[in-house]
């Protein structure tokens, strides 16, 4: 007598089995993302030398943060605007906020930074923009923290021009968010924002 074997079918269709498979796939995906990030950082650390290696590893968390941003559900990225209390940002400090799934850098610039950026010869820039075109108040710079090369997250208060440094491929931006060196083709984007007393409303024009 021939008997049909039904146990495997029941097992494969069971909720417990599906849960195990889904968890396994999720763990594999997280591992692949981590391996990819580490491979990029190691490759460019070798290229830029020992000093560059330290900067690249310092930016590892920022790169991972960008991966998380890209994986967020659409409804989590849909906030129309956020408010930033300027009292929380001392002079000379840059703080990072999340707006519509992207990091936004709010920099409280020093008098020296303001003077330096205003004095830049615009004709020498790859993406010519005067500092006055990129800020509404000289002491405050607001830019989207996504490198215009391949979308990595730059490190604030770093690089050769005192602004931002992208750890992925070595783009340097000044304290106005303008690209000054490296492969990035454009300046960091400036989001729509307005001032309301001592608050910046990002996402409001």
Question: Which CATH number belongs to the domain containing residue 97 in this structure?
Answer: 2.102.10.10
Report residue 42: phi and psi, to 5°.
-65, -45
How far is residue 30's CA from residue 64's CA, in Å, rounded to a whole number?
A: 11
Instruction: Determine the average pLDDT of the residues in 83-111.
Output: 96
Task: Please tell me whether residues 24 and 121 are part of one structural domain.
Answer: no
Q: For residues 48 and 80, state if they share a domain.
A: no
Number of folded domains that form the chain: 2
pLDDT: is 108 or 2 the higher one?
108
The model carries a pTM of 0.64
45 with 124, same domain? no
Whole-angstrom distance, CA of residue 50 vs CA of residue 29 = 30
Residue 4 covered by a domain: yes
Q: Which pLDDT band holds residue 177 (cuts at 50, 70, 90)?
A: very high
Outline where DSSP puts E strands in 1-75.
none
**Cα angle, residue 130 at apex, residues 116 and 140 outer, rounded to 5°:** 65
Q: Where are the beta strands (DSSP E) in the chain?
A: 82-85, 94-99, 102-108, 140-144, 155-158, 162-165, 172-174, 179-181, 193-196, 199-202
State residue 43's pLDDT score.
Answer: 55
How many residues belong to the chain? 205
Look at residue 36 in the predicted model and tell me its pLDDT. 56
Looking at the structure, do residues 33 and 132 belong to the same domain, yes or no?
A: no
Query: Comparing 47 with 96, which gets the higher pLDDT?
Result: 96
| Segment 50-61, tens digit of pLDDT | 455 445 545 554
**Of residues 81 and 18, more confidently modeled:** 81
pLDDT in tens, 126-165: 999 999 999 999 999 999 999 999 999 999 999 999 999 9
- Residue 169 falls in the annotated catalytic set: yes
pLDDT reported for residue 5: 46
Three-class DSSP category at 151: coil
Are 46 and 138 in the same domain?
A: no
| Residue 168, domain extent | 74-202
Catalytic member of 108, 127, 130, 169: 169
The three-state secondary structure class of 110 is coil
Looking at residue 23, its pLDDT comes to 62
pLDDT in tens, 8-47: 444 445 555 555 556 655 566 656 555 555 565 555 555 4
CA-CA distance, 160 to 187, in Å (whole number)?
15
Q: Examine residue 63 and state whether it is found in any structural domain, yes or no.
A: no
CB 189, CB 143: distance < 8 Å: yes
Question: Is residue 68 in some structural domain?
Answer: no
- pLDDT computed for residue 204 by the predictor: 82
Same domain, 53 and 81: no
């Amino acid at each position: 007598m021939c008997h049909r074997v039904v146990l495997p079918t029941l097992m494969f269709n069971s909720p417990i089995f599906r849960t195990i498979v889904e968890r396994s796939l999720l763990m594999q995906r997280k591992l692949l993302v981590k391996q990819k990030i580490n491979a990029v950082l190691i490759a460019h650390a070798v290229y830029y030398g020992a000093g560059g290696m330290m900067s690249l590893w310092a930016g590892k968390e920022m790169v991972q943060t960008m991966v998380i941003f890209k994986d967020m559900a659409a409804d989590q990225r849909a906030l129309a605007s956020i408010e930033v209390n300027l009292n929380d940002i001392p002079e000379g400090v840059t703080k990072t906020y999340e707006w519509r799934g992207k990091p936004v850098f709010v920099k409280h610039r020093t008098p020296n930074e303001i003077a330096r950026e205003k004095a830049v010869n615009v004709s020498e820039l790859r993406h010519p923009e005067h500092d006055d075109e990129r800020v509404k108040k000289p002491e405050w710079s607001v830019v989207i923290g996504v490198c215009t090369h391949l979308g990595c997250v730059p490190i604030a208060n770093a690089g050769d021009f005192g602004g931002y440094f992208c750890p992925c491929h070595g783009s340097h931006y000044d304290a106005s968010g303008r690209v000054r060196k490296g492969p990035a083709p454009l300046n960091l984007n400036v989001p729509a924002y307005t001032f309301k007393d001592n608050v910046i409303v990002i996402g409001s024009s």
